[in-house]
Structure 1
């Protein structure tokens, strides 16, 4: 992240960023005393390590959690029940998530409040918690019925036949249909999380294109459909990887629909730089085109290295230019 960059954190931005890059998880461990299964609620946000300063600002803004670094990523983690109850639940209740992320949050909240009330220290309580939360992130979870059965067998080993519990939990579905439309701050967070602005260069012909995308898990495709309504443009595609993508590829839509909505804000990540360059390229294509070598080189010098310093391109910048500069 750029030094001295102004970072703006708002509740709706956090909600949008969480929609993209956050997760609500109930981890399980085994203990020797009392109920042998112990649930631990965990909230985390994960991004590239270049956004470490942003995560420090998030931590300072919320006043909770811890930050962890590894070679590639930075992660903001909240495990404290009190911090979750006092800070995160009020935030996400007032600034709700959407789609499958809202379902996961409602399950998370239900379990957190059960743990706060010490219900996890009773056999019926831990069984209810496991039933509710074990597969709460169906699209991304690596958990299996076999791994759940291993935990249940630990309970059976101590208590014998397990009691039958009431599996209904209406509070989880509460407010799913009472969701306010997305707003600009939510979109800003969403794009900072899993959005991208790109300039593409065809290598087999003289063609430059711009595109704006936002990706999410397939079970939250409703969020992307809301983007179509918010921007009054774009298309949503289902992807083979249990994901979905919102995409805008038209220069006119980029300039007349996307830019007017986003020009008054600043993204908290490198997406701001990518946004500005993509819009500049769209304006160059619209106003001058790139039929001349001079105009094409202007666009190449502006945008070739904007994402991953050009390492994502199939060929180098010099190789590309040599194809068209005779």
Structure 2
């Protein structure tokens, strides 16, 4: 079934790719819902994968490949939501136990895994079990979570309404951080699918085109970006103000000689495949021909101007940019200046 799916849609899913995709784009969450009867709080573990809505067909294919979850859409995004404890334990956990996550996401996953297994074994049906899950959940995503001690106390009070002597000093055993292990190309393909980008920049103050290949992860997983530096033998890692970090290759020769030979035969499942093909073509053209002539400049502009977000982040329109550097106004005699 999975083989036929890949042939029909041209998507290429592997479990190692999935681990990389989850590393960059996935979120492990344990939410808590109110219950009218029995224990007043019910934990709900959820794995979310979210991309731009243009990836809807890929997400439907991924759902079919895994055989679990549901695909949801809103105005801008598509999300694969896996919230069934049975599906998480029987499908997702065996994959991620074998094809491991890295960096801080590994710790988050290990806590999430523990919660899923506790619920699979019905431990959440006791007050003590729910308390343990609550404590575990509040150790997840500590750098990015909006949860506070106040919101935790609200949940604890609901549990105390069933048992006023409920212990509040439970300290869960937490997994330890692990050193990043060597990454496979499939894992990196997933990372790039999740939060990588290929960008062509056009300066408006002078005739200059810049290129950069980036991968962004949460700051707690910065060690993984340093592994990309080793893997490609080029690039730099930068910390960002948004509690994130970025791996970046912006040297044209590095991309041509070090990155492109590795990624040349990689096939991405998302729109990044198109972006990569355009990016590679632009880099090769600049490397071979440059863009000093109007013909070369216009070739690159025509090829790459709309490649990311339909040029929504460009400060000027394509025609305005060309007017800055290519004089196409007709002369009074019908010729060109």
- Fold-level similarity (TM above 0.5): yes
SS at match of 1:67: strand
Is the Cα contact below 8 Å between 2:16 and 2:99 reproduced in 1?
yes
Distance 2:320 2:293 in 1: 18
Cα distance, 1:232 vs. partner? 0.6
Is the Cα contact below 8 Å between 1:96 and 1:179 reproduced in 2?
no
Greater alpha carbon shift after TM alignment, 120-129 vs 156-165: 156-165
Counterparts of 1:150-169 in structure 2 under 5 Å? Answer: 150-169=154-173
SS at match of 2:87: helix
TM-score normalised over the length of structure 2: 0.92
Question: Which string of whole-angstrom CA distances, capped at 9 and with x for unpartnered residues, describes residues 241-299 of structure 1?
Answer: 10000000011011001101101110111111111111111111111111111111111
Is the Cα contact below 8 Å between 1:124 and 1:165 reproduced in 2?
no
Tell me the C-alpha RMSD between the 2 structures. Answer: 1.4
1:16 aligns with 2:17: no
Query: Which residue is equivalent to 1:72?
Result: 76
1:109 aligns with 2:110: no
Is the Cα contact below 8 Å between 2:180 and 2:224 reproduced in 1?
no
Greater alpha carbon shift after TM alignment, 154-163 vs 50-59: 154-163
Question: Which string of whole-angstrom CA distances, capped at 9 and with x for unpartnered residues, describes residues 61-80 of structure 1?
Answer: 11111111111111111111
Distance 2:73 2:118 in 1: 31
1:94 aligns with 2:95: no
Is the Cα contact below 8 Å between 2:59 and 2:80 reproduced in 1?
yes
Is the Cα contact below 8 Å between 1:11 and 1:91 reproduced in 2?
yes
Cα distance, 1:166 vs. partner? 4.2
Distance 1:148 1:156 in 2: 12
Query: Which residue is equivalent to 2:219?
Result: 218
SS at match of 1:159: coil
Larger radius of gyration: 2
> Tell me, which stretches of 5 or more residues in structure 2 are unaligned?
1-7, 328-337
Counterparts of 1:124-273 in structure 2 under 5 Å? Answer: 124-170=128-174, 172-173=175-176, 176-177=177-178, 179-273=180-274
SS at match of 2:115: helix
Distance 2:178 2:322 in 1: 52
Query: Which residue is equivalent to 2:4?
Result: none
User: Which of 51, 55, 74 is the equivalent residue of 1:47?
Assistant: 51
Aligned length: 320
Cα distance, 1:208 vs. partner? 0.5
Question: Which string of whole-angstrom CA distances, capped at 9 and with x for unpartnered residues, describes residues 147-181 of structure 1?
Answer: 111111112233113214541415x33xx426531
Distance 2:101 2:216 in 1: 15
* Structure 1 residue runs of 4 or more that deviate by more than 2 Å after TM superposition: 176-180
Distance 2:127 2:172 in 1: 17
Cα distance, 1:24 vs. partner? 0.9
